[in-house]
């Protein structure tokens, strides 16, 4: 039966080349865009290198203080001081990684300037993140405490500074007049991962790290790792308890202080949307946009499908006369439509793979690792099926209502 | 085999009501070859469609193989047509996207048969109409007579007890028409299939057992 559906579906596609082209074009472009988008979203928010533990991590990168009487609001990243003295002391997280915003520094290779990002971190940073070490290892707590001038550099930095593939561990890298002893080289991280992407990683005890800033507002961030995913609510709760007890930094002017430990996406939503924004609303809006985006080609496809199916009224009449029930025919036409969508999906997949390949190789996003991973593929496949059903059900239903006699007559 | 009692068919539009069939009472015996004649628009095809359960009468009862068909669900009707009835149309109604063999297999798709069983039966049916050598062709590659023979193969492949033919020779020249008539006659004689045929052609009608004439929706003979 299925083989037969397949045969006729292909025959129909071949016969109406122009319709087929329009349908496939619509489906494949839409799906390709969706797949590329999903891949981008996955690239930005998924548990990817080296932040594989995102699922059981909470992120802190905002501290906000405000005055309810004057209406002032100050907001920035927290200080190392706040993160180290209050957040690190929380009991429920397994560990707390602390890292700075990257700062630009200049290095010189053969009289050529090389702009390098430096990120200052604590020891736990290396345990929360799962970097791939190509050489050497991370700095120890002891090295940090001693204020040793050690650094881990990225593969790209090594290639640019020491030469491609040249061993760097044991050598020195000088940036902004500070010499660091290179003790490790890690695989480079895409620039889109602000908690882990840098060219040089150094201990927070370095001179220009800014870790000595007093107060709560500075340029550091933290990742709180839970032992298990189920601990996350408990950590959030403990975090808020800690915030309630936190002494006011400037009681005369600011009477309110806020900071949150949120999921990765949630933390950005909170930061960009203000205190009241809800993650659910954001997902809803994204969902609505996707739906509308898919609706347009679907309506177009519904139209094409109706014309296409009604053209085949003779076939419908004959099939009904020879024993096909309306239900069987509906299934046949939906299956045919699914075949078309799956074909479009495969084409879309190919297009998406090409587009992602181009983006990955273009250097628009350094070290981008956009890919059609299993999650992206599954989502795309589901979208494909949804698309096929959405655009196939209505025409099939209309067709099945056709009376045999009129179906045969109009042919 | 087929009993029609007080069949009436009325077509209604917003302004007009047309009586297509008026109090038709007709019995077709098992193994009979019956022809229905009458001028265009007299209701011949409507009558055949009602017999074939392709259309429902406005009034009256249709009994086939001693089963009253009123009140059958869409699904039950589909199963019933599939098992008991075969159709031949004036304009063949073959599916141009499918090869001859697949066209003939079509009624078997709605039965629980394996692909191999379907193919075997379809080949046998094509053999009976002398088209074994055209199985891989598409309908558009065939002559009118050949197309109608494919349609006959499709009608008989499920071995129905009744075949309903709506002007099967209407689009064919007399030689081809005679071929088709020959096949139908043999089917009736050898296999005992009951056949009801609508025709315009007196010569064809004369080759059947009995002739029914319609005029303005009423039976006149």
Tell me the per-residue pLDDT of B192-221, one tens digit each, with 9 for 90 and over: 999 999 998 999 999 999 999 999 988 887
Torsion of CA A275, A280, A283, A289, to 10 degrees: -90
Number of helical H runs and strand E runs in chain B: 7, 10
Dmax over Cα atoms in chain A, in whole Å?
A: 93
Mutate one of B77, B109, B151 to test the A interface: name it (highest A CB count within 10 A): B109
pTM: 0.67
Assess whether the previous peptide bond of B105 is cis (omega < 30° from 0). no
Cα torsion angle, B153, B154, B157, B159, sign? negative
Residues of B in contact with A15 (CB under 8 A): 96-97
Q: Considering CB atoms only, which of A15, A314, A325 is closest to B78? A: A325
- Give A301's contacts (C-beta < 8 A, 6+ positions apart): A23, A26, A27, A387, A391
Q: In the 8-state DSSP scheme, what is residue A403? A: -
Predicted pLDDT of residue A186:
97
Cα torsion angle, A281, A284, A286, A288, sign? negative
CB–CB contact B49 A317 (8 Å): no
**Cα separation, A26 vs A5, whole angstroms:** 23
Which contiguous run of DSSP H or E holds residue B169? none
- pLDDT greater than 60 at residue A411: no
Q: What stretches of A226-379 adopt beta strand conformation (E)?
A: 256-258
| A157-186: pLDDT as tens digits | 999 999 999 999 999 999 999 999 999 999
Q: Count CB pairs under 8 A between chains A and B.
A: 74
A1: contact with B, CB 8 A cutoff: yes
Predicted pLDDT of residue A276:
57
Q: What stretches of B29-93 adopt beta strand conformation (E)?
A: 33-37, 59-64, 67-68, 85-88
| A13-30: pLDDT as tens digits | 777 788 788 878 887 887
Residues of B in contact with A11 (CB under 8 A): 97-98
Indicate the pLDDT class of residue A410, thresholds 50, 70 and 90: low
Mutate one of B93, B156, B162 to test the A interface: name it (highest A CB count within 10 A): B93
Q: Considering CB atoms only, which of A3, A324, A411 is closest to B93? A: A411
- pLDDT greater than 60 at residue A378: yes
- pLDDT greater than 80 at residue B18: yes
The SS3 call for residue A287 is: helix
Residues of A in contact with B107 (CB under 8 A): 322-323
Residue A73 near residue A207 (C-beta atoms within 8 A):
no
Mean residue pLDDT across chain A: 88
Residue of A nearest to B118 (CA): A1
| B39-64: pLDDT as tens digits | 988 999 999 999 999 999 999 999 99
B139: contact with A, CB 8 A cutoff: no
Q: In the 8-state DSSP scheme, what is residue B39? A: S
A26: contact with B, CB 8 A cutoff: no
Give the residue-averaged pLDDT of A337-356: 86
- Residues of chain A with pLDDT > 70: what percent? 97
CB–CB contact A405 B49 (8 Å): yes
- pLDDT greater than 80 at residue B154: yes
| B27-45: pLDDT as tens digits | 999 999 999 999 988 999 9
Give the A window 90-149 contacts with B, CB below 8 Å: none
CB–CB contact B82 A323 (8 Å): yes
CB–CB contact B95 A315 (8 Å): yes
Number of helical H runs and strand E runs in chain A: 13, 14
CB–CB contact B78 A15 (8 Å): no
Give the residue-averaged pLDDT of A25-50: 84
Predicted pLDDT of residue A143:
96
- Residues of chain B with pLDDT > 90: what percent? 70
Structure-token match 């064809």, residue found: B204
A179 strand-pairing partners: A174
Give B140→chain A minimum CA distance, Å: 13
B48 vs A335, more confident: B48
- pLDDT greater than 70 at residue A344: yes
Predicted pLDDT of residue A175:
92
Residue A231 near residue A95 (C-beta atoms within 8 A):
no
| B98-147: pLDDT as tens digits | 899 999 999 998 998 888 999 999 999 999 899 999 999 999 999 999 99
Predicted pLDDT of residue A306:
80
DSSP codes, A112-163: EEEEEEEEEE-STHHHHS---EEEE-PPPHHHHHTT--EEEEEHHHHHHHT-
Give A320→chain B minimum CA distance, Å: 7
Predicted pLDDT of residue A274:
60
Residue of B nearest to A1 (CA): B109
Predicted pLDDT of residue A39:
84
| A266-280: pLDDT as tens digits | 888 887 766 555 677
Mutate one of A1, A322, A397 to test the B interface: name it (highest B CB count within 10 A): A322
Give the residue-averaged pLDDT of A295-301: 76
Give the residue-averaged pLDDT of A296-311: 78
Predicted pLDDT of residue A277:
59
**Cα separation, B168 vs B93, whole angstroms:** 11
Give A317→chain B minimum CA distance, Å: 9
Strand order in the sheet with A73-78: A217-218, A73-78, A63-66, A256-258
B74: contact with A, CB 8 A cutoff: yes
Which contiguous run of DSSP H or E holds residue A234? helix A232-245
Residue A60 near residue A83 (C-beta atoms within 8 A):
yes
B107: contact with A, CB 8 A cutoff: yes
Predicted pLDDT of residue A1:
66
A386 vs B164, more confident: B164
Residue B9 near residue B50 (C-beta atoms within 8 A):
yes
A131 vs B177, more confident: A131
A280: contact with B, CB 8 A cutoff: no
Beta-carbon-side half-sphere exposure of residue B152 (alpha carbons within 13 Å): 29
A181 vs A342, more confident: A181
Predicted pLDDT of residue A409:
80
- Residues of chain A with pLDDT > 90: what percent? 48
């Amino acid at each position: 039966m299925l083989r037969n559906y397949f045969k006729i579906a292909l025959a129909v596609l071949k016969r109406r080349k122009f319709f087929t082209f329009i349908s496939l074009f619509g489906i494949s472009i839409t799906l390709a865009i969706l797949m590329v988008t999903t891949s981008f979203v996955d690239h930005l928010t998924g548990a990817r290198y080296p932040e594989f533990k995102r699922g059981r991590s909470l992120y802190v990168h905002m501290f906000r203080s405000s005055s309810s009487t004057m209406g002032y609001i100050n907001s920035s990243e927290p200080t190392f001081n706040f993160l180290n003295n209050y957040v690190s002391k929380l009991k429920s997280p397994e560990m707390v990684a602390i890292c700075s915003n990257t700062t630009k520094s200049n290095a010189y290779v053969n009289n050529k300037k090389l702009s390098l990002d430096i990120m200052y971190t604590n020891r736990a940073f290396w345990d929360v993140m799962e970097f791939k070490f190509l050489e050497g290892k991370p700095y120890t707590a002891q090295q940090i405490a001693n204020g040793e001038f050690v650094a881990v550099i990225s593969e790209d930095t090594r290639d640019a500074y020491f030469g491609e593939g040249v061993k760097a561990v044991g050598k020195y890298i000088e940036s902004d007049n500070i010499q660091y002893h290179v003790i490790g080289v890690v695989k480079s991280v895409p620039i889109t991962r602000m908690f882990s992407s840098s060219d040089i990683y150094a201990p927070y005890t370095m001179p220009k790290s800014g870790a000595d800033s007093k107060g709560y507002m500075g340029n550091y961030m933290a990742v709180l790792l839970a032992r298990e995913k189920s601990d996350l609510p408990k950590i959030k709760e403990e975090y808020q308890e800690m915030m309630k007890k936190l002494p006011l930094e400037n009681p005369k002017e600011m009477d309110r202080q806020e900071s949150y430990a949120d999921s990765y996406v949630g933390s950005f939503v909170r930061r960009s949307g203000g205190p009241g924004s809800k993650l659910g609303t954001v997902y809803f809006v994204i969902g609505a946009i996707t739906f509308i985006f898919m609706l347009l080609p679907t309506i177009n496809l519904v139209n094409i499908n109706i014309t296409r199916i009604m053209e085949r009224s003779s076939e419908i009449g004959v099939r009904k006369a020879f024993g096909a029930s309306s239900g069987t025919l509906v299934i046949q036409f939906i299956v045919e439509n699914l075949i078309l969508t799956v074909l479009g999906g495969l084409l879309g997949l190919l297009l998406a793979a090409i587009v992602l390949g181009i983006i990955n190789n273009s250097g628009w996003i350094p070290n981008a690792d956009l890919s059609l991973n299993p999650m992206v593929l599954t989502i795309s496949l589901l979208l494909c099926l949804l698309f096929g059903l959405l655009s196939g059900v209505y025409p099939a239903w209309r067709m099945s209502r056709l009376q045999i006699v009129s179906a045969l007559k109009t042919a | 085999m087929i009993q029609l009692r007080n069949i009436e068919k009325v077509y209604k539009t917003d302004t007009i009501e047309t009586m297509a069939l008026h109090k038709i009472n007709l019995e077709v015996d098992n193994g009979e070859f019956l022809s229905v004649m009458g001028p265009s628009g007299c209701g011949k095809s409507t009558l055949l469609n009602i017999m074939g359960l392709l259309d429902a009468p406005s009034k009256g009862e249709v009994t086939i193989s001693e089963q009253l068909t009123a009140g059958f669900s869409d699904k039950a009707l589909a199963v019933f047509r599939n098992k008991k009835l075969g159709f031949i149309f004036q304009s063949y109604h073959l599916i141009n996207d499918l090869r001859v063999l697949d066209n003939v297999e079509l009624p078997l798709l709605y039965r629980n048969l394996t692909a191999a069983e379907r193919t075997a039966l379809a080949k046998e049916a094509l053999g009976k109409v002398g088209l074994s050598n055209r199985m891989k062709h598409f309908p558009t590659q065939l002559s009118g007579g050949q197309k109608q023979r494919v349609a006959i193969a499709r009608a008989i492949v499920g071995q129905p007890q009744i075949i309903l033919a709506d002007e099967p020779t209407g689009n064919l020249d007399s030689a081809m028409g005679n071929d088709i008539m020959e096949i139908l006659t043999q089917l009736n004689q050898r296999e005992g299939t009951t056949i009801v045929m609508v025709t315009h052609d007196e010569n064809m009608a004369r080759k059947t057992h009995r002739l029914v004439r319609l005029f303005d929706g009423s039976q006149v003979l």
